[in-house]
Amino acid sequence: MASRAGTVVTMPCPVDPMLATPGPLPADEERWSFEPKWDGFRAIVHTGGRRLRVISRRGTDLAGRLPELEPLAGVLAAGTTLDGELVVLGTDGRVDFEGMRRRGFGQAARGRLVFVAFDVLASAGEDVLAQRWETRRRMLADLGLDGPAWCMTPSYPGEGRTLFEATRAEGLEGVVAKRLDAPYRSGVRTAAWVKTKHFDRQWFDVLGVAPTPEERYALVLGFRGAGGVRYAGRVEWGFTRAHFEELAARARPTDGSPFGDWAPRGSIFFEPGIVAEVRYLAGSLLRHATLRSLAFDQSSQLAEAKERGRQIARQAG
């Protein structure tokens, strides 16, 4: 985009999205507005006459895979560019990330696809990147985005902590704080946008390890109990070479899979007695997960009981 405010935007390839910095909620809430953080695919939507482009973070045009969005080209003026999130809403109204992942790869998925717009970068051919966020927000509201597969995200000036608790109760990923005076800085991770996610920590039984496409290994985690083994997910982040070497020295491999006939190709499974403490996105199947620590010669139930005991002791002290 090589144009300035007041000139017509020619955009053979839409701009790279502005990125938020991870961190706590800003203390000076009066300088910020707060939005739900949607757990989907980031997308830049651009209208060029009757044609709609839906560009992913990786630069792929997803428009042909998302026919629900085609009518949006007739709603927006030519030369309009929006930033937002593609989500799939399940029958319960909650965001279904796995459904969105399938749609992003051109596969079928249950649920309703929605483009949730949260910023406007060009309006009817005018570049508005340099405008304050609150000005762009008013321009976005003036577009009247209320359709069968598109809407505008809600925003709450000065209400960060209230929204943070509300998004936790609704099972959303977290909150994004946006400074009221912030311009849009394409391709930049900036402190003018701050994302705060909901995370849980829990102990899981280490069932084994499995190779990743990047030729690393990830821990395979689950729960062992009287009813058998229940799969919980995998974790790669935080699983270092030192952890791998410790497992190699102390873990006892088994010949079979705890899941019967099913096993990821190249996986190695262990006998019971190894547990992992993992930090992960609340309400998810180990998404955005990071290994915190490993422990040996105990079960996940015992590790969780010990952790609850420590928490009670801290509260009592």
Q: What is the pLDDT of residues 276-293, one digit of tens each?
A: 999 888 766 788 888 988
CB atoms inside a 10 Å sphere around CB 290: 16
Rounded to 10 degrees, the C-alpha dihedral 265/270/272/276 comes to: -80
Q: How many CA atoms lie within 13 A of 149 on its CB side?
A: 15
Walk me through the domains of the chain, giving residue ranges and CATH numbers.
19-197 (3.30.470.30), 199-316 (2.40.50.140)
Q: What is the pLDDT of residues 96-139, one digit of tens each?
A: 887 888 888 888 888 999 999 999 999 988 999 999 999 999 99
pTM exceeding the 0.75 threshold for the entire prediction: no
Closest listed residue to residue 250, CA positions, set 215, 295, 219, 291: 295
Q: Which residues are catalytic?
A: 37
* Amino acid at residue number 68: E
Q: What is the pLDDT of residues 176-234, one digit of tens each?
A: 999 999 999 999 999 999 999 988 888 999 999 998 877 889 999 998 888 888 888 88
Q: Which DSSP state fits 208?
A: E
Radius of gyration over alpha carbons of the chain, in Å?
23
How far apart are alpha carbons 57 and 140 in whole angstroms? 21
